[in-house]
Chain A
Amino acid sequence: MFIMRIARVLGVLGFLVLIAGLGILSSVPFSAYYNDPDVPHLFVSALVTITVGGLMMLPLRRKKIELGAREGFAIVALCWFVIPFFGSFPFLFSGQIPRMVDAYFESVSGFTTTGGSILSNVEVLSHGLLYWRSLTHWLGGMGIIVLSLAVLPMLGIGGMQLFKAEVAGPTKNKLTPRVAETARLLWGLYVILTVAQIVLLRVGGMPLFDSICHAFATISTGGFSTKNLSIAAYDSAYIDMVVTLFMFIGGTSFSLHFLALQGKVRQYRDQEFVFFTITAMVAIFVVAFAVVGKEYGGDILQALRYSAFNVMTVMSCTGFATADFALWSPLAQGVLFFLMFPGATSGSTGGGMKTVRVLLMLKAGTNLFKRLLHPKAVTPITFNGALVGMETMMAIAGFAMLYFVTFGTGTIVLTAAGSDILTSMSAVAANMANVGPGLAAVGPMANYGHLPDISKWTLDVCMILGRLEIYTVLVLFTKVFWRG
């Protein structure tokens, strides 16, 4: 029975590896078209990946796959470690990122839609690889949508059972049909949004190749760019605005967007969406105020443009840059640093603790004032009009605690490896929230290449822990998980 379960987990993993392989294969034409020399390397990477994936699926052929919660945890946690391993092949085989540590970092950063890079010069990469970097984001983003709207609510991770009924499936107890249904609906939307952004970027004069890559990296809130200067390379207010808008879309719930497309625009009255939007507006004005004098010489419109872009890049956990905010005033840096913790909303491709958790914790805080004064009164906490149970609240509190403990531990490891305090803190926060760039030595115009290997491995773990909302990974290390 146990063997059977492992075979099932391996089978699903194999399927995902196979898809990654097909993804690598799709980057071959790009290198071929631009006459880049790494066509055979990409092809071999794809072939190896597809073969391994196929072999892993073998034990499962012609059997119906039915998965329980435990297998769900195992698949989700393992796939975000395993797929980036295969995803690093194109970098390694082509010799453009010769070291395993670096190639794996780049690949994890891609699939977790983080966007932190170890490369100091991305413009020397072949077109095939640039496309592959963006595609890792796009594939990762697809995984996250399903993860955050179907898998995590079903498994009840950190209070996400809140969204159990969001996309109603036919069977409540079985993972597979539910996941498949959600995927079908939302991936359609995901593809439409990507295409829309490509068109809008193209209209603004961005080359088609760049438009595709940047659209992939925006909707998935990834952040890899094809340019060293990131979006700043185009120096276009129009492109900045398009990307800002799509980062906002990527950082907010896809199920809301889906409902809006069906004409239910009123669903945007969702408390989490409103809270996220208001926070963004306040942050944009504060940061604009902080940079308008020194950085933008009193030009309010410019200050707002750069502030909006960089606030949204952090809040949506994308990580594009149009300015080196690591050089902005401490006020601007402080706001951006703290925005990394709540991050984006649930059900989006963005990362962080998720706005809904912070919102509910804040409600708990204010609720306690009423209880202090009226100890006997029953004061329920509601979210979007529905009562939130004590168990959900405790799950959220536990999640927040684990998040901070992970943050503290990660920071300790990075400082132990020799980085300064601000670099370490911001690097860990940025990677756990899947933002990408941090402050100081890992700012938007710097990169992660110079960090010691141990720091890179630690940040890999941080990216995956953050991406999978911590519990999904940690549960594999509990005794109860393996018992029975």
Chain B
Amino acid sequence: MRIVPVLSVLGFIICAVGIAMLAAVLCSWYFEEPDVQPILVSALISIAVGVFLMMFMKRLDGEELRAREGFAIVTFGWIVAPLFGTLPFLFSGAIPSFTDAFFESVSGFTTTGASILSDVESLTHGLLFWRAMTHWLGGMGIIVLSLAILPLLGVGGMQLFKAEFAGPTKDKLTPRIAETARILWSVYVLMTAVQAGLLIAGGMSFFDSICHSFATIATGGFSTKNASIGHFNSAYFDVVITVFMFIAATNFPLHYAALSGKFRYFKDNEFQFFSISAIVAIALIVPLLLSEHDFLNALRYAAFNVVSIMSSTGFASADFAQWAPLAQIVLLLLMFPGACAGSTGGGMKNVRVILLLKTAANELKRLVHPQAVIPIRYNGRMVEQDILFNIAGFIILYLVTFATATILVAANGLDLVTSISAVVAAMSNIGPGLGAVGPAANYGGLPDLVKWILGVCMVIGRLEIFTVFVLFSRAFWRS
């Protein structure tokens, strides 16, 4: 592995983070808040460090990045960006502890949305905007990651989507990434703008609308209000946000196709599965809410919170940790599959679950006809066994990581329901869990060690496990 090109790309990322901070500076300046200076200093430091690292770029003329460098950049990118992202929190004194600031920042960039703050409303507008911005930047990174980088690197069966955007060069990382980014970021920006417009039209303030749109389209979940979306208590906002959480959690190439006039949603296996799961989950939860709400409101709360979990956003319009056990377990189980591949959402991804279910069904047939060769199809195309093998390996690693992290968290004395839900909520980048980390609570009271474990879980889950773990394999460092 060559260190120089890795450092230069990381420099570029840090520089971008710094430039984004400047927007937060403007925000604080506009609202005449006292932390203009600390945020400005944070931005300048980030830009300076970034530019310094980018100077190495000159040595990279004409050289292409290779797979190993790709893994290193992606993993360190998601560590370095949150690291610089902590500066505004630390310098302004709003989150004085480094552990807490890093947790908040990782939670932002991985679009998790878990917070250590018990009172976000006391933050300045600049910092609130920065929190939302970390989501939005993270979301941009994830789109490129999941549609360009992971398929090319062949992580966890995602080579399935290799042909999705046929690029001019198949073997080289850079042109491919640049092209995918250009197309999909435009979709991303467009959807953010539409949502912000709809929220403003419903009477939400301009500032809150922007922040919530950033957090929705990135399936993040940071809100500017303590009670999250529940604060506004508006059916209109709930519906708009539910719809956009759903959009953000579905495959972006489908949206791109739709914008270019090819409406393919209902032909896509993953979209079908995701939608049906959502409908079934909502149908299971609605009856449980009827004792407190009329049917329409029960539907509204069930839909919002189910989609919030499935999309791995983590907004809350109700404290589902207080709902009936059935509702809680449905939400907990939904955290594992999570969203669709090629979205900003987290979790194992629906496509993987679908393909393993198909494998299981296939096995049943093969038990009766052991000699028969029965191919597995996805969206009409045959799926190679290699890809299925990759997916199976991915899922076992996901579950092993989940179990190990849960045991580590439980070792700090947290009860099992809290430990289990906190870990899966972190790994699937959702945010709130159950028990002591429910939507009405926060992660602030947890021991520091647990915060670090969960921070690592967020990055591992976000980067689809392999990307991180491969750095620890012997084969990676050899030669």
Contact = CB atoms under 8 A, between A and B. Distances in A.
Given A369-B469, A373-B473, A390-B389, A411 B333 contact: yes
Given A361-B396, A373-B68, A368 B466 contact: yes
Contacts of A439: 416
A397 interface: yes
A370 interface: yes
Given A290-B411, A361-B393, A478 B365 contact: yes
B414 to A, nearest CB: 6
A421 B417 contact: yes
B328 A334 contact: no
- Which 7 A-B pairs give the minimum distances between C-beta atoms? A397-B392, A398-B360, A334-B410, A330-B410, A415-B325, A361-B396, A398-B363
Contact of A338 (B366, B368, B403, B470): B403
A338 B370 contact: no
Given A334-B407, A408-B333, 18 more contacts: A157-B367, A290-B411, A329-B413, A333-B410, A361-B392, A365-B394, A368-B393, A369-B475, A371-B390, A372-B153, A398-B359, A398-B362, A400-B392, A415-B328, A418-B325, A421-B328, A421-B329, A421-B417
Interface string A392-427: 011111111110110010011001101111101100
Chain B interface residue bracket vs A = 35 or more
Given A401-B356, A421-B332, A373 B67 contact: yes
13 contacts: A158-B363, A331-B410, A334-B407, A334-B416, A337-B416, A361-B396, A368-B389, A372-B71, A390-B389, A394-B389, A397-B391, A405-B357, A478-B365
B429 interface: no
Contacts of A395: 363, 366
B369 interface: yes
Contacts of B411: 290, 330-331, 334
Given A372-B67, A373-B68, A330 B333 contact: no
A373 B153 CA distance: 9
A365 B155 CA distance: 11
Contact of A365 (B365, B397, B416, B419): B397
A290 to B, nearest CB: 7
Contacts of A364: 389, 392-393, 396
Most buried by B among A73, A367, A402, A424: A402
Interface string A466-484: 0000010011001011000
B410 A369 contact: no
Interface of B (DSSP majority class)? helix
Interface string A295-311: 00000000000000000
A394 B67 contact: no
B396 A365 contact: yes
A90 to B, nearest CB: 35
Interface of B: 67-68, 71, 153-156, 284, 324-326, 328-330, 332-333, 353, 356-357, 359-370, 385, 388-397, 399-400, 403, 406-407, 410-411, 413-417, 419, 434, 466, 469-470, 473, 475-476
Contacts of A419: 325
Nearest to B467: A372
A365 B368 contact: no
A415 B470 contact: no
Given A393-B389, A408-B333, A422-B416, A334 B434 contact: no
Contact of A330 (B394, B400, B403, B416): B416
Contacts of B415: 330
A399 B368 contact: no
Contacts of A421: 325, 328-329, 332, 417, 434
Contacts of B370: 156
A376 B364 CA distance: 32
Contact of A398 (B68, B353, B356): B356
A415 B388 contact: no
Given A364-B392, A415-B325, A73 B414 contact: no
Contacts of B328: 415, 421
Most chain B CB inside 10 Å of its own CB: which residue of A373, A419, A471 = A373
B365 A480 contact: yes
A235 B407 CA distance: 30
Contacts of B360: 398-399, 401-402, 405
A193 interface: no
A92 B240 CA distance: 58
B359 A370 contact: no
A61 interface: no
Interface in A346-388: 358, 361-362, 364-375
A377 B410 CA distance: 40
